[in-house]
Amino acid sequence: MDNVKELLVILIGSSLVSNVVLSQFLGLCPFLGVSRKVKTAVGMGGAVIFVITLASFVAGVINQFVLIKFKVQYLDTIVFILVIAALVQFVEMFLRKVMPALYEALGVYLPLITTNCAVLGVAINNEQAEYGILTGTVNGFATAVGFTVAIVILAGIREKIAYNDVPKAFQGMPIVLLTAGLMAIAFVGFSGLL
Amino acid sequence: MNKAGERLYNGLVKENPTFVLMLGMCPTLAVTTSAMNGLGMGLTTMVVLSLSNLFISLLRRVIPDRVRIPAFIVVIASFVTVVQLLLEAYLPALNKSLGVYIPLIVVNCIILGRAESYAYSNPPIPSLFDGIGMGLGFSFALTCIGAFRELLGAGKLFGAALMPEGFEPIRIFGQAPGAFFVLAMLVAVQNAVRNRRKKAGKPYEKIGSGCSEDCMNCSDQGCTRRFYDAGAAEKKPVRQPGSTAQGKAPRPVQKQAESGIQRKAPRPVQKQAESGIQGKAPKPVQKPDRAVNGKKERLAQKQTEFEYIDLDKEEK
């Protein structure tokens, strides 16, 4: 029972309380770049959930059975970035061949997250928090869900902003960043949850 | 030495990575809660950037074109690890406050971007100074933003109380939302400058060519690049405007001259490489031409790039 409780705490903590974009600033590029429409935002969110969950699982396995076993934890950055980057590209090829339908839905977004900071960030966070493989994967999944929640909300707001009369200098990125800032304030409210 | 000075000026002012190019926004937002953190992050990045620039430049004739991204990443990640261990040993307080953002220097757009657009096609000494200049520009920008946030958020500067007695700190500037607000103001100023320059007919393309315009460019500059970039696959890296044109062109020609192979008319082999299918054509024949064509194509396809990048426009 204790284990389940711990996983639940991680799930809520990583997805809402310390949201990956709004409080840790990881994965800002896709967050700002692919949030013009809800539809693309959902696609990006799906791809991120898929990649981060997979990558944190693989990074966890490597950490457990290679890095810790041979006592070479200091190589973590090099190993994780190479493995993750190669993994994403491999997944892309694999999906294209084997699951064309899924590739249609997620394929365009996959290269955009090849070496995204969020993916590497989760792997390193998992390692520093000394999470096991299962806990790490759950943490990765939760983090990605947090990203998806944030990007979909932002996209929804941006669709409305498009009809507003924004001062000239604030058109484009600045107004989006202000929106993100207000969202970050809202997400600070979750910190009482745990 | 003149060249070195020009590189330093370029990094600090003309192509300042934060204020002008808007690259590497993740660490810019995350670690600038105080001036000290900003300065620490900036200097750490500078060390990694100049060393990786130097080494990539030294290895530029050894690294094959098609696996250059993984090669760059290995070089950069090694230096990041070295710097991280040094920080752990000698500046544990700074290491603790920067935390996960130290290993994340690996995916900083600025470093991979400079490796790709400058160091890979220029001699070691200018590359080193390019790294130092860019690093100094980054440190300067981060320190400024950090100082601003620390001053408003805590009424201090480098830890020393500076504001008058009655000043009530605006705590939010020290927290996550404040970072977004500060960056929003920064980009708004950039936009204003850009608009003014546009009106006056001055060059403005360089300003905000990174994240502020369309973040997908940033992803192409480095954060999210394809790992194995087959010299002529469908996607090519976007270069930073300006800094590449003169640097990149002479190299393939020179290489050609060295290996004594004359340029041949385009062959079917080349087309095959374009569509991303390799391995079927006899390799020895294909090789010399591919290096040349790959680079030229990449420069030529700069414009067509945006079809791939602009996910939203596609749907309209």
Domain boundaries, given as residue ranges, for chain B:
3-217
Per-residue pLDDT band at B259 (split at 50, 70, 90): very low
Question: Which span out of B51-55, B100-104, B261-265 was modeled with the highest average pLDDT?
Answer: B51-55
Q: Of B55, B24, B23, B48, give the one whose Cα is nearest residue B120.
A: B55
**Percentage of chain B lying above the pLDDT 90 cut:** 19
Cβ atoms of residues B127 and B56 within 8 Å: yes
Distance between CA atoms of residues B255 and B287, nearest Å: 12
Q: How many CB atoms lie within 10 A of CB B13?
A: 13
Distance between CA atoms of residues B289 and B266, nearest Å: 9
Nearest chain A CA: its distance from B216 CA (Å): 6
Q: Of A11, A48, A24, give the one whose Cα is nearest residue A188.
A: A24
Q: Which of A25, A76, A169 sits opposite B26 (nearest CB)?
A: A25
Q: Do residue A77 and residue B106 have CB atoms under 8 angstroms apart?
A: yes
Angle at B103 between CA B101 and CA B106, to 5 degrees: 105
Q: Do residue A173 and residue B78 have CB atoms under 8 angstroms apart?
A: no
Q: Do residue B195 and residue A169 have CB atoms under 8 angstroms apart?
A: yes
Per-residue pLDDT band at A1 (split at 50, 70, 90): low
Q: Do residue A33 and residue B215 have CB atoms under 8 angstroms apart?
A: yes
Distance between CA atoms of residues B7 and A79, nearest Å: 33
Identity at A94, one-letter amino acid code:
F
Q: Do residue B227 and residue A185 have CB atoms under 8 angstroms apart?
A: no
Q: Which residue of A has its CA nearest to B184?
A: A174
Q: Which residue of B has its CA nearest to A186?
A: B177
Judged against a pLDDT cut of 60, whether residue B284 lies above it is answered with no
pLDDT digits (tens, 9 = 90+) for A46-76: 888 888 999 999 999 999 998 888 888 888 8
Q: Do residue B312 and residue A86 have CB atoms under 8 angstroms apart?
A: no
Taking the alpha carbons of B209, B210, B211, B216 in that order, is the dihedral positive or negative?
positive
Judged against a pLDDT cut of 60, whether residue B164 lies above it is answered with yes
Q: Do residue A175 and residue B215 have CB atoms under 8 angstroms apart?
A: no
pLDDT at B315: 41
Place of tokens 């095959």: B272
The per-residue pLDDT of chain A, averaged, comes to 85
Judged against a pLDDT cut of 80, whether residue B153 lies above it is answered with yes
Per-residue pLDDT band at B204 (split at 50, 70, 90): low
Distance between CA atoms of residues A68 and A54, nearest Å: 20
Judged against a pLDDT cut of 50, whether residue B299 lies above it is answered with no
Q: Residues of A with CB below 8 A from B226's CB?
A: 89, 111, 114
| Chosen from B41, B67, B112, B215 to mutate, greatest number of chain A CBs within 10 A | B215
Place of tokens 């950069």: B76
Q: Residues of A with CB below 8 A from B213's CB?
A: 172-173
* Angle, in degrees to the nearest 10, between helices B283-300 and B250-259: 160
Q: Which of B26, B187, B195 sits opposite A168 (nearest CB)?
A: B195
The pLDDT of B270-290, averaged and rounded, is: 42
Place of tokens 């928090």: A129
Q: How many CB atoms lie within 10 A of CB B272?
A: 16
Taking the alpha carbons of B288, B289, B290, B292 in that order, is the dihedral positive or negative?
positive
Q: Which of B85, B188, B311 sits opposite A169 (nearest CB)?
A: B188
The pLDDT of B138-146, averaged and rounded, is: 91
The pLDDT of B240-268, averaged and rounded, is: 40
Cβ atoms of residues B254 and B246 within 8 Å: no
Q: Which of B74, B175, B184 sits opposite A174 (nearest CB)?
A: B184
Q: Is B235 helix (H, G, I), strand (E, B) or coil?
A: coil
pLDDT at B289: 43
Nearest chain B CA: its distance from A87 CA (Å): 9
Per-residue pLDDT band at B44 (split at 50, 70, 90): very high
Nearest chain B CA: its distance from A26 CA (Å): 6
Judged against a pLDDT cut of 60, whether residue A112 lies above it is answered with yes
Cβ atoms of residues A28 and A146 within 8 Å: no
B156 beta partners: B161
B312 contacts: CB under 8 Å, gap ≥ 6: A34, A36, A37, A40
Identity at B83, one-letter amino acid code:
V
pLDDT at A102: 78
Per-residue pLDDT band at A84 (split at 50, 70, 90): confident
Q: Do residue A114 and residue B227 have CB atoms under 8 angstroms apart?
A: yes
Per-residue pLDDT band at B243 (split at 50, 70, 90): very low
Q: Do residue A108 and residue B30 have CB atoms under 8 angstroms apart?
A: no
Per-residue pLDDT band at B205 (split at 50, 70, 90): low
pLDDT at B208: 54
Judged against a pLDDT cut of 90, whether residue B90 lies above it is answered with yes
Q: Is B80 helix (H, G, I), strand (E, B) or coil?
A: helix
Please tell me what DSSP assigns to residue B171: G
Q: Do residue B81 and residue A33 have CB atoms under 8 angstroms apart?
A: no
* Complex prediction ipTM: 0.85
Q: Do residue B30 and residue A25 have CB atoms under 8 angstroms apart?
A: yes
The per-residue pLDDT of chain B, averaged, comes to 70
Q: Which of A32-41, B78-87, B257-266 has the lowest mean pLDDT?
A: B257-266
Distance between CA atoms of residues B229 and B276, nearest Å: 10
pLDDT at A18: 86
Q: Residues of A with CB below 8 A from B192's CB?
A: 168-169
Q: Do residue B106 and residue A89 have CB atoms under 8 angstroms apart?
A: no
Q: How many CB atoms lie within 10 A of CB B85?
A: 12
Q: Of B107, B26, B224, B222, give the one whose Cα is nearest residue A114.
A: B224
Whole-model pTM? 0.75
Question: Which span out of B22-26, B89-93, B302-306 was modeled with the highest average pLDDT?
Answer: B89-93
| Chosen from A173, A175, A185 to mutate, greatest number of chain B CBs within 10 A | A173
Beta strands in B34-162 (DSSP E): 156-157, 160-161
Identity at B25, one-letter amino acid code:
M
The pLDDT of B57-68, averaged and rounded, is: 88
The pLDDT of B161-168, averaged and rounded, is: 76
